[in-house]
């Protein structure tokens, strides 16, 4: 089966070659793509490696249609988790044989105890950087040695090896001015949260806990180590990290809670998050929104004041009333929160589109002469606001462009039943359509729950070739008829495409006849 992008490339090549005459190979490919177009769209939104729920019983955050069963081409993969763990354990063992204390540290220990696959393995040791360099033939990033950190390469895998240390004064709210080499216990005390202050000895298969992290992990609690105010003053990003851990870590399918003193310290320090770089805030926000419970993340950011400090435009959605006949759930903030509740590990563009789709409503709020609340052009205003917000957070141009399109066109779904067939096909072939369709689904579920337009679109069983067919004529054909390049030529090509998509023109001969008629002004 061809991917939709491959189909677009084929069409482009054919259109450039004069008449769109398919080769035998292309015809063979065409025979293999008699699949519903929605399958191509959904495969873009949810990769084939993701578990696919039944389309008849969509779960929160599910795709709108089943994915294609055809396997994607095999891709080169990196080392397995077992290979990474074995290599990291080998580094620990070599350090211990040389007389040093060495453990796995931080997130990999936490994830191991939660039964979650680790993303990487960090190692903490009593060995100093120069001693690590002597033990291992390949050590990089030695510039980090001033902070006691180097990177060891084993079997083409990179592992961060850090010397146990005690941090000096923090002046920039991110890094210590100095570090002093110390013990494992003192190293644990400088870390952010108890659940991240654990060590694990893979040689002895033993957890080392100086901070009560194992107990908090079992109870599902996020607790700062020592004085919470001190921990947050050291690195202000920890304010958002606390929220992120609380809404993304799961214990028995439940999120974690932030213990009261830590929560109070976050509220107190929330305004200081402004001093953190946009890129670091962006990364934490993305992890919150694409996790298993983004609505919990929104709740915590709201309750702590972080929402007002990081995303004042979303905080402004509070109290913005909506017409109850369409939004029985309440104000705009409540609507967005309910939409987020229907997302589970969603793609970033979809999550950002949900968060920002109604951001233009406060600025466009009005009550008409009948007393009805209206938000005229809120989608246009919201798209402009979304672009500014995302640029300020340093998102990539690609992410911004997709989100802006989703926000700008999210109201168009109410008109799909009125669209001409040609217009509907062009609407559905847009690159962002799968995300827009899922946005529309959760938009409905977050208010009136009427999925009639979503169901209507699902029922349009267009093949990929029907929705984006090869051109029947090209600009070269029209130039050969004596029509010069320019506005008239473009207009005729568009009219012929409209006729082709609506089914009134189906062959090159019919398309040329229509073009001559249009050129003559008939």
SS3 track for 340-355 = HHCCCCCCHHHHHHHH
Site of tokens 């913005």 = 320
The distance between the two most distant Cα atoms of the chain, rounded to a whole number of Å, is 93
- Which residue's structure tokens are 């205003």? 381
Euclidean distance between CA atoms 340 and 311, whole angstroms: 16
Round to whole Å and give the CA distance between 341 and 78: 33
Strand partners, 283: none
- What string of H, E and C letters represents the secondary structure of 151-179? EEEECCEEEEEEECEEECCECCCCCECCE
Its sign, for the CA torsion 438, 443, 446, 449, is negative
Question: What whole-number distance in Å separates Cα of residue 133 and Cα of residue 152?
Answer: 8
Candidates 475, 481, 473; CA nearest to 506 is 473
Each residue's pLDDT tens digit in the chain (522 positions)? 333 343 343 333 333 333 333 333 343 334 333 333 443 344 445 443 333 333 333 333 333 332 223 333 445 578 899 999 999 999 999 999 999 999 999 999 999 999 999 989 999 999 999 999 999 999 987 656 677 899 999 988 999 999 999 987 776 666 777 788 999 999 999 999 999 999 999 999 999 999 999 999 999 999 999 999 999 999 999 999 999 999 999 998 899 999 999 999 999 999 999 999 999 999 999 999 999 999 999 999 999 999 999 999 999 999 999 999 889 999 999 999 999 999 999 999 999 999 999 999 999 999 999 999 999 999 999 999 999 999 999 999 999 999 999 999 999 999 999 999 999 999 999 999 999 999 999 999 999 999 999 999 999 988 888 899 999 999 999 999 999 999 999 999 999 999 999 999 999 999 999 999 999 886
pLDDT of 350: 98
**440 burial type by CB count under 10 A (0-12 exposed, 13-18 middle, 19+ buried):** buried
**How many Cα atoms are found within 13 Å in the side-chain-facing hemisphere of 392?**
12
What's the helix, strand, coil split of the chain in %, to 5?
50, 10, 35
What pLDDT is recorded for position 171? 67
> Strand pairing of 122-125 and 157-163?
parallel
Alpha-carbon gap, residue 453 to 47, rounded angstroms: 25
Q: How far apart are CA 284 and CA 275, in angstroms?
A: 15
- List of residues 6+ apart from 488 with CB closer than 8 A: 519
Task: Spell out the residues 6+ positions from residue 489 whose beta carbon is closer than 8 angstroms to its own.
Answer: 475, 478, 479, 483
What pairing do the DSSP bridges indicate for beta strands 139-140 and 149-154?
Answer: antiparallel
């Amino acid at each position: 089966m061809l991917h939709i992008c491959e189909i677009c490339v084929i069409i482009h090549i054919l259109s450039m070659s004069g008449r769109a005459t398919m080769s035998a190979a292309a015809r063979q490919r065409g025979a293999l793509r008699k699949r519903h177009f929605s399958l191509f769209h959904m495969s873009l939104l949810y990769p084939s490696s993701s578990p696919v729920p039944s389309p008849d019983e969509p779960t929160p955050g599910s795709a709108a249609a089943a994915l294609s069963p055809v396997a994607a081409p095999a891709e080169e993969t990196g080392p397995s988790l077992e290979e990474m763990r074995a290599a990291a354990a080998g580094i620990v063992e070599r350090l211990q044989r040389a007389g040093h204390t060495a453990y796995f540290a931080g997130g990999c220990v936490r994830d191991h105890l939660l039964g979650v696959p680790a993303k990487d393995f960090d190692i903490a040791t009593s060995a100093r950087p120069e001693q690590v360099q002597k033990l291992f033939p390949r050590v990089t990033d030695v510039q980090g040695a001033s902070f006691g950190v180097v990177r060891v390469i084993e079997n083409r895998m990179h592992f961060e090896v850090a010397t146990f240390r005690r941090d000096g004064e923090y002046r920039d709210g991110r890094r210590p001015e100095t570090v002093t080499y110390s013990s494992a216990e003192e190293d644990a005390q400088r870390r952010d949260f108890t659940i991240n202050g654990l060590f694990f000895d893979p040689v002895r298969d033993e957890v080392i806990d100086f901070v009560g992290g194992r107990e908090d992990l079992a109870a599902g609690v996020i607790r700062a180590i020592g004085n919470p105010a001190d921990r947050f003053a050291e690195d202000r990003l920890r304010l958002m990290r606390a929220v992120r851990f609380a809404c993304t870590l799961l214990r028995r399918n439940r999120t974690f809670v932030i213990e009261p003193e830590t929560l109070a310290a976050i509220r107190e320090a929330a305004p200081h998050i402004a001093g953190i770089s946009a890129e670091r805030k962006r990364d934490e926000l993305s992890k919150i929104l694409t996790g298993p419970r983004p609505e919990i993340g929104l709740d915590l950011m709201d309750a702590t004041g972080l929402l007002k400090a990081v995303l004042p435009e979303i905080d402004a959605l509070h109290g913005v009333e909506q017409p109850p006949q369409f939004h029985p759930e309440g104000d705009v903030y409540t609507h967005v929160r309910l939409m987020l509740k229907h997302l589970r590990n969603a793609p970033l563009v979809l999550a950002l589109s949900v968060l920002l789709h109604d951001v233009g409503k406060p600025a466009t709020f009005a009550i008409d002469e009948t007393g009805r609340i209206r938000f005229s052009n809120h989608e246009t205003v919201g798209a402009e606001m979304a672009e500014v917000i995302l640029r300020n957070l340093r998102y990539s141009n690609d992410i911004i462009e997709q989100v802006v399109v989703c926000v700008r066109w999210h109201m168009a779904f109410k008109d799909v039943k009125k669209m001409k067939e040609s217009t509907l096909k062009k609407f559905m072939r847009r690159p962002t359509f799968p995300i827009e369709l899922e946005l529309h689904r959760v938009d409905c579920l977050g208010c009136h729950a009427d999925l009639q337009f979503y169901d209507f679109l699902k029922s349009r069983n267009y093949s990929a070739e029907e929705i984006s067919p090869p051109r029947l004529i090209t600009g070269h054909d029209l130039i050969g008829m004596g029509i010069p390049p320019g506005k008239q030529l473009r207009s005729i090509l568009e009219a012929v495409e409209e006729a082709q998509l609506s089914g009134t023109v189906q062959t090159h001969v019919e398309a040329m006849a229509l073009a001559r008629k249009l050129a003559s002004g008939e």
